[in-house]
Amino acid sequence: MADLLSVENLSAGYGRAVVLSDVAFALGEGEALAVLGRNGVGKTTLLDTLVGVTRRFAGSIALGGREVGTLAPEMRAGLGVGWVPQERNIFRSLSVEENLTAVARPGPWTIERVFGLFPRLKERARQSGGSLSGGEQQMLAIGRALATNPRLLLLDEPTEGLAPIIVQELLAALTRLLREEKLAAIIVEQHAQKILPITQRALILERGRIVHQSESAALLADPAPLERFLGVTGR
Amino acid sequence: MPSGTLLGQALISGVLAGGMYGLLALGLSLSWGLLRLVNLSHFALAFLAAYLTYELGTTYHVAPWWAAAMVVPVMLMIGLAQHWLFDRFKVNELASLLITFSFAVILEVAIQLYWTADYRRFETHYSTMSIKVGAFYIPVLELALCMVAGVLAWGTWLWLRKTYVGKALRAAAEDADIAAAYGVDHKKLAYLLSGMGAAYAAIAGTFIALIATLAPAQIWAWLGVVFAVVIIGRLGNPLGALLAGMLIGASESIAMAIFAPAWAPVVSFSVLIAILLWDPEWL
Amino acid sequence: MNHRMGAWRRRHVLGGFVGLAALGAPAIVRAAPSGAPVRVGGTLSLTGFLAQTAIIHKIAAEIMVEDINSRNGFIGRPVEYIMLDDQSKPDVARSLYEKLITVDKVDLIMGPYATAPILAAMGVAQRYGKVMIQSSMGIPHLQTYDMAFPATPFGPEPDKTYPNVILDAMASLPTPPKSMVIVTSKFPSAQFMAKGMRLEAEKRGVKVPLYLEYEAGNRDFGAIAARVKEANADFLWVGSLGLESNQLLEALRKLDYTPKTSFHLYPAPGPLALSPDGNLVWCSTFLEPDEPFMSRPGMKKIAELYKERATKANLPYAIIDAQAAGMVAAWQILEAGVNGAKSLEDKQIAAWLKKNVVTTVYGPTKFDGLYNHGEPAQLIRQVQDKKWKVVWPKQFVAPGVKLIAT
């Protein structure tokens, strides 16, 4: 099967600072990739580089066989990159529904389907984005990315700072997206145990470099790399 | 104490005069609120449109609405050209203030070169027409102005609220980078909005030609009050701009009727300061 | 010859020699001015909020410089007018006069127009002891410098004298107005006259039920019109500038109200005469291109030249009126002063002016009264058939013309 995303020799950062060095990995259609690592190792920079909001120093990013590394963010979005930023960055002055419709593109993910995935958003459709709770904002951020009908969904620490009950709800929705809808995704997480079960593949970053790549199942079976690079096991 | 007739008449003429503030504020509010560009040349564009309407009307006897139909596309092109400059030189909010100020001064000089500094007045028989309702007189031109301003403000409000483009614009105004990452082409939308702003200036200009006195230095006469209106009406809110315009117009007029006419210029800023101090939720 | 002239002569030996010859024997070179030009510096508000009338003053000044040069120039030397733009700003006027006197070293200065720039320039003129003729300051008591001379015959106290001219004209009407509404701009010269009008009217038993002041640059006259209508007096006195009178009359008509008789202080003459609201309104003036004014020396030619140039400059109102005539008179006074004193020395020019009578387009003008003013000669004109006609006082009314009652 041809790769949906193919990243080679990628170096990127902000201003003159190089954060990512020589990163290479590939992702097939319908595959989900977990990006693991400690704080500040470059996980978010990797997603931001795929979106196009960092400075790329070298390397290539191919989406569906087309080089997108040189394109502006709005062009990449048009080609199917859907982003759920770490800060969520929902449009606070727009209503929940407007957050979705402002960026919506035709495709299987209609607004109604997004509401079906997150019924809480439907209840709050007319409220302003700024009035939502943290968990609801996260749902909206995911829903907004889905509304663009992406080929590849990029999720940056989707459960960060949320109450356990909301985390459960979100993980259930993500499971549905990845398992049933077969949406290709890259999920950045610190807590490996939360996402390894729902992804096929995993990689671990350390100081901007990939230090481990394997099947997610393999990491679950043998958590030694997790202990070594993340210093944790059973969380 | 002034009579009820006097107060009612003052209120009517004030609200209607406020329609002009609202109409001028509309384009300014859009570009300031949604593009973060403070376009001082908006007033100069409106006056250029007014002079063109005057010229078409007096020299070629073109009816004002046909003049508007001709002037609006011209101003639209000027607005697009101006935005090309903003885009080309990556102008920010403060720089836009300085650049558009210079642009306004250049336009003022150009207008003076062609039309001289002398006062110009486009006399039409509409200018003194009014409808009598009970004890009150409603001037026809100002009423038409308010209706046009109302349609534009309402239409723009709906457009921003209901269409993809409008919502994308509002999203981009809040966070242009994030909006871009979701596929919003902010640059194209910005051109559209700048063009629209200039077209609104042209429509305002047509009414300025019919209602007000033309002199190059008059470009600056509306600046203070319209800025107050834009802020009271909330940046980027077309209906707010119109309502704020009418509020200021009515306040000025009532102040003129009850106290002294010379108080009028103080009114707009007093209302602005009072509202800023009050800090209501809608602001 | 003063020091400044001496320094100047060292740089222009030949020209200076001719100039000296002209000074010594004006009769010899009387036929046409020759030699180094006499440089006269001044500013006009070519841009900014006073710019409406600058072009009028500019045209009038240029006509006069040519006119003077076609005769004898200034003591036989050609006149050169160095005109700068003060942007309607007093501080700019101040520094430009400073520059004209100290850097450009002009021989003489000509005043700017409008009260604020005139006051600014007067301060500089006083510091350097220059004679300053000003064309248009409507508040004579502000002219405190003893070598400043007014070109326009307001008289020393126009706020007392001119209201009585108006009251006399009112009294001559078949039904003399008994009440008067006064509406005035807060522009200083208008407000000054409006205050005087109220005082003099009340002294003579004309009631003033409503006195309103509005800010210069007032945009909406709707509320003011509503108050004027409600007061419904026999006479409306408007201390207007520019198009304010047109705007007020229009606003009144929107309320279906036409004032019985109205007077307008300093409106733009063209638009008011042509407006349907302007028919038979009164206005202040000092002359019109009509008899007896056209019989004054030089007036006919100047009026024709003015019309020609103003038309060419695309001015909507190309007829000479008090604005332009003020500038004409200012140059006539300077010409008379220099040639009368036979000197470019400011003190001698001033002394000559105070002792003599100068005949300008405004008639015989004296400078021996309070604030260097002579007799007042402010008149009343009325729009008749879309033209301005002087209608009061009677000795200035052209044959066949009379004040039409409304």
**How do the pLDDT tens digits run along chain C, 406 residues long?**
344 444 443 444 334 333 434 433 333 334 468 889 999 999 999 888 778 788 889 999 999 999 999 988 999 999 999 999 998 899 999 999 999 999 999 999 999 988 889 999 999 999 999 999 998 888 999 999 999 999 999 999 999 999 999 999 999 999 999 999 999 999 888 999 999 999 999 999 999 999 999 988 788 899 999 999 999 999 999 999 888 999 999 999 999 999 999 999 999 888 899 888 999 999 999 999 888 899 888 899 999 999 999 999 888 889 998 889 999 999 999 999 999 999 999 999 999 999 999 999 999 999 999 999 999 999 999 999 999 999 999 999 999 999 999 8
| Chain A: residue whose CA lies nearest to B175 | A91
Where does residue B277 rank: exposed (0-12), middle (13-18), buried (19+ CB within 10 A)?
A: exposed
Asked if the Cβ–Cβ distance from B168 to A99 is below 8 Å, we say no
Say which residue the tokens 């305002």 belong to: B204
Q: What is the pLDDT of residue C13?
A: 39
CA distances (Å), origin B48, targets B51, B53, B217, C100, C227: 5, 9, 12, 35, 33
Between 3.90.1150.10, 3.40.50.2300, 2.30.30.170, 3.40.50.360, what CATH number should domain C160-285+380-396 receive?
A: 3.40.50.2300
Asked if the Cβ–Cβ distance from B139 to C222 is below 8 Å, we say yes
Q: Which of C54, C212, C316 sits opposite B260 (nearest CB)?
A: C212
Chain A residues close to B181, C-beta within 8 Å: 51-53, 73-74, 76-77, 83, 85
B256 touches chain A (CB under 8 A): no
Residue C248 sits at the vertex; the CA angle it makes with C244 and C252, to the nearest 5 degrees, is: 170
Q: What is the pLDDT of residue C283?
A: 97
Asked if the Cβ–Cβ distance from B261 to C277 is below 8 Å, we say no
Region A204-224 average pLDDT = 92
CA distance linking residue C318 with residue C308, whole number of Å: 8
| Spans of all domains in chain A | 1-80+186-235
Say which residue the tokens 């005949």 belong to: C359
All domains in chain B, ordered by first residue:
4-278 (1.10.3470)
DSSP state string for B109-178: HHHHHHH-SS-B----GGGG-EEEETTEEEEHHHHHHHHHHHHHHHHHHHHHHHSHHHHHHHHHHH-HHH
A21 touches chain B (CB under 8 A): no
- In the stretch 65-84 of chain B, residues with CB closer than 8 A to chain C read none
| Chain C: residue whose CA lies nearest to B266 | C215
**Neighbouring C-beta atoms of residue C147, cutoff 10 Å:** 20
Chain C residues close to B123, C-beta within 8 Å: 274-276
Say which residue the tokens 């419904």 belong to: C232
B207, B209, B210, B215 alpha-carbon torsion, rounded to 10°: 130
B123 touches chain A (CB under 8 A): no
B167 touches chain A (CB under 8 A): yes
Record the tokens describing residue B5, joined without a space.
């007739």
| Chain B: residue whose CA lies nearest to A85 | B178
CA distance linking residue B126 with residue C223, whole number of Å: 19
A77 touches chain B (CB under 8 A): yes
Where does residue C189 rank: exposed (0-12), middle (13-18), buried (19+ CB within 10 A)?
A: buried
Percentage helix, strand, coil, to 5, in chain B?
Answer: 80, 5, 20
C4, C7, C12, C17 alpha-carbon torsion, rounded to 10°: 70
A88 touches chain B (CB under 8 A): no
What is the amino acid identity at position C90? P
Give me the helices (H) in C205-345, please.
222-231, 244-254, 269-274, 299-312, 322-341
Q: What is the pLDDT of residue C110?
A: 97
Q: Which of B123, B128, B254 sits opposite C253 (nearest CB)?
A: B128
B2 touches chain C (CB under 8 A): yes
User: Quick check: helix, strand or coil at residue C39?
Assistant: strand
Asked if the Cβ–Cβ distance from A74 to B185 is below 8 Å, we say yes
CA distance B34 to chain A (A): 12
Q: Which residues contact C395 (CB under 8 A, 6 or more apart)?
A: none
CA distance linking residue B251 with residue C218, whole number of Å: 14
Q: What is the pLDDT of residue B110?
A: 94
Region A181-189 average pLDDT = 92
Q: Which of C51, C212, C247 sits opposite B261 (nearest CB)?
A: C212
Residues of chain B with pLDDT under 50: none
User: Quick check: helix, strand or coil at residue B227?
Assistant: helix
| Chain C: residue whose CA lies nearest to B110 | C47
Q: What is the pLDDT of residue A232?
A: 64
Asked if the Cβ–Cβ distance from B181 to A77 is below 8 Å, we say yes
Q: Which residues contact C245 (CB under 8 A, 6 or more apart)?
A: C238, C262, C264, C267, C272, C278, C281
B208 touches chain C (CB under 8 A): no
C3-153+296-375: what CATH class? alpha beta
CA distance linking residue C54 with residue C209, whole number of Å: 37
CA distances (Å), origin C392, targets A115, C173, C377: 85, 12, 11
CA distance B118 to chain C (A): 4
CA distance linking residue B171 with residue B37, whole number of Å: 16
Q: pLDDT band at residue A173, thresholds of 50, 70 and 90?
A: very high
C-alpha of B194 from chain center:
14
**What's domain A1-80+186-235's architecture?**
3-Layer(aba) Sandwich (3.40)
A118 touches chain B (CB under 8 A): no
Asked if the Cβ–Cβ distance from B183 to A103 is below 8 Å, we say yes
Instruction: Identify the CA nearest to C265 among candidates C286, C239, C288.
Output: C239
CA distance C271 to chain B (A): 7
| Chain A: residue whose CA lies nearest to B237 | A93
Q: Are strands C179-185 and C207-214 parallel, antiparallel or unpaired?
A: parallel
Polymer length in residues for chain A: 235
Q: What is the pLDDT of residue A230?
A: 83
CA distances (Å), origin A112, targets A108, A125, A143, A146: 10, 11, 10, 11
CA distance linking residue B88 with residue B95, whole number of Å: 13
Q: Which residues contact C304 (CB under 8 A, 6 or more apart)?
A: none
